[in-house]
Structure 1
Amino acid sequence: MVQELIILLIFIAASAYIGRMLYRVFSAKGDGCASGCGGCSSIDFKKIQQEMDRKAAATKL
């Protein structure tokens, strides 16, 4: 009986976790990213390109 209750609680917790993930995916704000980590908006591709160009120029010398 106790084992069954533990399994039921684990199942409920896992279902709630999956449900929360699905809710976040389908209720994403207009930015198209549902992870909520904030990493997508913090990437500066121009800065990355400048650093790559700088390193490429340094290796040619």
Structure 2
Amino acid sequence: MVQEIIIFIVFALAAAYVIRLLIANFRPKAGGGCAKGCGGACSTIDFEKIKKDLETKSAPVR
């Protein structure tokens, strides 16, 4: 009888852990508006800087 109770407690704890993981997986991440949860780094991309870098790298070398 005691062994069955211990097995039930271990099973209940494991099931609660799996349920908590599933809930955390579907809950939106804090600190970000996008699905990646990166904290909003997507909005800090400077396209002008990227364009300048590409222009300087693609310029012919003398």
TM-score (norm 2): 0.51
Q: How many Å apart are 1:9 and its aligned residue?
A: 3.0
Q: How many Å apart are 1:52 and its aligned residue?
A: 1.0
For 2:53 and 2:20, the matched residues in 1 are separated by 43
What does 1:1-61 correspond to in 2, within 5 Å?
5=10, 8-24=12-28, 31=33, 33-38=34-39, 39-57=41-59, 60-61=60-61
Higher RCO (CA-CA < 8 Å; seq separation 6+): 1
TM-score (norm 1): 0.51
Gaps of 5+ in 1: none
Gaps of 5+ in 2: none
Flag the structure with larger Rg: 2
Q: How many Å apart are 1:36 and its aligned residue?
A: 2.5
